[in-house]
Each structure stands twice: as C-alpha cells, then as structure tokens.
Amino acid sequence: MQEQLKTGLMSVILPAYNEEGSVPRAAQVITGILSQAGISHELIFVNDGSRDQTWDRIQEQSAQYPQVRGVKFSRNFGKEAAIFAGLAQARGDCAAVLDCDLQHPPEKLVDMYRLWQHGYQVVEGVKISRGRENPLHTFAAKTFYSAISGATGIDMSRASDFKLLDRKAVDTLIAMREKHAFFRALSSWIGFSTAQVEFAVQPRLEGESKWSLRSLIKYALTNITSFSAAPLQLVTLMGVVVFICSVALGVFCLWQWATGQALEGFTTVILLQLIIGSILMICLGIIGYYVAKIYEEIKDRPRYIVAEECGGRRDDGQAEKTV
Ligand code: UDP
Ligand code: MG
C-alpha cells in the first residue's frame, strides 16, 4: 500500500544580524531551490536590530518575491529571540530555521521537507564538520557543548539551529513561556518523532561571524543556566567536599592540640581562609545568577519587540494560509 505523504507550506525562518550582503543571496538561492523541488514556501527574515542596510535589503527582497516577508526588531535581541519571532510569524504547516549566511546548506531543506512528508515532526540538522573556524573558537565551542551536554543530558556536540519543525512542534515551542528559551536544546526536549539530516557547515561568504569570545561565554552561561539547575547542585557538591576536608583537618588539629604541638600551621590557616572564601564567593555567584534569572523571568517582559514588518501580501495565493 502506498504511504500517504503530507504536503503543505514550508516557512523558512532566517535570523539576520548585520547581513546586508547575505540577504539577497539567501532569498535568491532558497526560493530557487524550493521552487525547483516543487515545495510551496514562504521566507521570513528577522532583522535582529542590524546596524547596516539589512532591513533595506529585506524590504527589497519582499517587494521582489511575494513569498518573502520581513520582521524588524526594535533593537538587537539575539538569535534565539529572532528564531522565536520567526516561529510566531510562520504560517506554514512546517517551519525550518537556518542561518542567513547560508552556512547551513539550503539544499538540505529539501531532504528535511521529504522526511517531514513521511511523518517526522522534528528534523534536526546534525553537523558532520564545523567548517573553517579559528582554533580558539573551536575550543570554546567544544567546552561549551560538553558543559551543556553534561548539564542537560542531551548530546549537543553536533547539534545546530538548523531544524525543520512540524506545526505541532512549532505551536508547542511558542506556547512555552520561558523568556530565555534555548532553541537548540528545547527543540530536542519537546520530543516528537525525530529524524536527522547530516550537513557540513559551509564557509561564510559574506561578512563575519557575530560571535566574539565574550558573547560565546555569555551565550554558554545564559543557556546552561536557563536549561539546567545542575550548577546549583555543584554548589552542594562543593559544600560536601569542603565539609569532608574540614572534618579531616579538624581531627588533625585536635590531635595536635592534644599532643601539645598546636602552634604550627599558620600557613594552613591562611590557605584555608582563602580557599573557603573563594569557594563561598563562587557559590554565591552561581546562586546569584539563578536569582537574576528568576528576577528576569518574573518581570515578564516580551522576548523581543517588533518595530516593523514588511511583505506577506495575501493576494498572491502563496502565503495564503493563516494559523
Ligand atoms: N544572528 C542574529 N542575532 C545575533 C547574532 C547572530 O540573528 O545577535 C544571526 C546571524 O545573522 C546569522 C546566524 O544568527 O544568520 C548565525 O550567526 P553567525 O553566522 O554570526 O554565527 P556562526 O555561524 O559563526 O556560529
Ligand atoms: Mg554563520
């Protein structure tokens, strides 16, 4: 018996931050590939507070292609916010997310769509190579991924933001109320029937990567703490370790006192003060980080603010479907 294949509109979400050079190429390449494969589609560019001509380029593309739309943030809110804004805007039966610099090969969108047609609800792009990067970046990324994989219990080492999600998965994600959503991990966490498509990260043709070492560290800390409470348990663990050491030292000191040789060991006292002091500071810092997170979540501010939208004329029949 022939399997019933799903068909439907695919929304392609492209976060863009200072990508004036990449936007026209992305629109042209992606619409070309998807039209040729006979997949009805819409493109949603999310301008994440770019300081260059990105928004003008997006407006030009939306004037040229009826299936291209644009959303402009009032300032830079970060890639995660841009992805969620795109998901909220998507009218498709499935939605794909890929980098606007085309480091995620757009040909793979067709493979992802075919898997979706066969009933998979989450299709993950899995990196087989990280592309050309400087060694420091590779090291930072490796450290980050082993930390987050350990903290979340999800293997993130080859994960990327290149994904295709069924409407159900999209709706589940946008219904989540947490402000610091970590798309890459959350889209695995929600479950659903999942397939994987391997891809090699392409070299960046235009502009440069937006990640500085500082922003990577911030990204790592934000995402680990928003996805996992493991660092808080680390505080307890450190407490236990210090307690065991202090019991041992306590016994030793008492023994010294009992045998009348108690004056020695002033260096030990100084060292102990320093070590315990710094461990306490670190622990307070970790707890403080989570308190700050609670504070931010409880303020219930929006994840992003949309300043302007463009494109999405409904009279063309292409992007007809509403959610
Ligand atoms: N991006 C974004 N907001 C940001 C930083 C990046 O929307 O604050 C977008 C960027 O335009 C690109 C994607 O996220 O489409 C990936 O960024 P980038 O290429 O700089 O990262 P890399 O590929 O080096 O990991
Ligand atoms: Mg890139």
pLDDT digits (tens, 9 = 90+) for 188-197: 888 888 888 8
110-142 CB burial, b ≥16 within 10 A, e <16:
bbbbbbbbeebbbbbbebeeeeebeeeeeebbe
**260 alpha carbon – ligand 1 mean position (Å):** 66
Chain position carrying tokens 């070299």 = 203
For the Cβ of 101 lying below 6 angstroms from any atom of ligand 1, the answer is yes
The ligand that comes nearest to the alpha carbon of residue 14 is 1
The DSSP code for 199 is E
Q: Which atom of ligand 1 is found nearest the CA of 201?
A: 23
Pairing of strands 159-166, 94-97: antiparallel
For the Cβ of 48 lying below 6 angstroms from any atom of ligand 1, the answer is yes
β-sheet bridge partners, residue 46: 15, 71
Whether 118 has a pLDDT exceeding 50, the answer reads yes
**42 alpha carbon – ligand 1 mean position (Å):** 20
DSSP string, 66-104: TTEEEEEESS---HHHHHHHHHHH--SSEEEE--TTS-S
| Nearest CA, atom 19, ligand 1 | 209
pTM over cut 0.85: no
Per-residue pLDDT of 62-113, as tens digits, reads: 988 889 999 999 999 888 899 999 999 999 999 999 998 888 999 999 999 9
Tell me the pLDDT band of 319, cut-offs 50, 70 and 90: very low
For the Cβ of 140 lying below 6 angstroms from any atom of ligand 1, the answer is no
Q: Which atom of ligand 1 is found nearest the CA of 210?
A: 20
**32 alpha carbon – ligand 2 mean position (Å):** 21
Q: In a mutational test of the pocket of ligand 1, which residue from 75, 129, 162, 210 has the highest number of ligand atoms less than 8 Å from its CB?
A: 210
Residues near 296 by beta carbon (within 8 Å), at least 6 away in sequence = 179, 180
**308 alpha carbon – ligand 2 mean position (Å):** 25
19, 103, 213, 273 from 134: Cα distances, Å:
21, 16, 11, 40
Whether 200 has a pLDDT exceeding 90, the answer reads no
pLDDT of residue 71: 94
Whether 170 has a pLDDT exceeding 80, the answer reads yes
pLDDT of residue 317: 42
**102 alpha carbon – ligand 2 mean position (Å):** 7
Identity of the amino acid at 216 = L
Lowest mean pLDDT among 99-108, 255-264, 307-316: 307-316
Tell me the two tokens of residue 182.
Answer: 């970590």
Per-residue pLDDT of 13-43, as tens digits, reads: 999 999 888 999 999 999 999 999 889 999 9
